[in-house]
Structure formats: C-alpha cells, structure tokens
Amino acid sequence: MSQIDLTQTPLGADGSFEVQLAQRGETYRVPADQSILRVLSDAGVDVPFACEQGVCGTCLTKVLAGQPDHWDMFLTPEEQAANNQMMICCSRSQTACLVLDI
C-alpha cells in the first residue's frame, strides 16, 4: 500500500499543518492561530528565538521537505524561493506537512 506524501499535498482549508522534526523523530500539529515556534516551545522543544516578528533571523530553521509559506522580512526573495530554510516564528506552510532539521 502506498503512503500519501504530505510534504507534496497542498494545505487544507482549516489552515493547520503538520511539522515533523527530523532529528527528534517527533510530529506536531500547528493550528491556524499559532506559530510553529509557539507550538514547539510549548511542547518543550528548545528553539532559539528573539523578535517573533520575522525580522531578527534568530529562529532560522532548515527545511528538509515540504514548502514553506514565507512571511518574514529576513530572507531575501531568492532565499525564500529556494524553500530550504524558513523563519519558524512567523512563516507557515503551503503543504500539509513540513519536515524541519530539528
């Protein structure tokens, strides 16, 4: 039986998505009204942050799969288009699942 690859599936209507932490082997659901950073830090994952507004670059995180929805002002348009890193304090996902290098 083949499995659906959620990193290729478009984000559903409720705006929530899954975040898989590749190093930790954990998966979290990010609701529409919370940031990835908030969900992870509320779960006890130690993620560095400062401004929480997409400006300082402290929360820069490598993306291994899935497509981020960039809302920051830190990455250049070219860096955003590469879709291999994101600011988890404000950016979201365009796909049902993002795999992060955490």
Nearest distance from C-beta of residue 35 to ligand FES, angstroms = 9
The DSSP letter of residue 2 is: P
Quick check: 79 binds ligand FES (CB under 6 A)? no
User: Measured over all CA atoms, what is the biggest interatomic distance in the chain, rounded to whole angstroms?
Assistant: 45
Nearer to ligand FES, 9 or 48 (CB): 48
**Shortest Cβ 2–ligand FES spacing (Å):** 36
Q: Is 62 in the site for ligand FES (CB under 6 A)?
A: no
Q: Is 92 helix (H, G, I), strand (E, B) or coil?
A: strand
CA dihedral 55, 59, 63, 69 (to 10 degrees): -40
Binding site for ligand FES (CB under 6 A): 49-52, 54-59, 72, 74, 87, 89
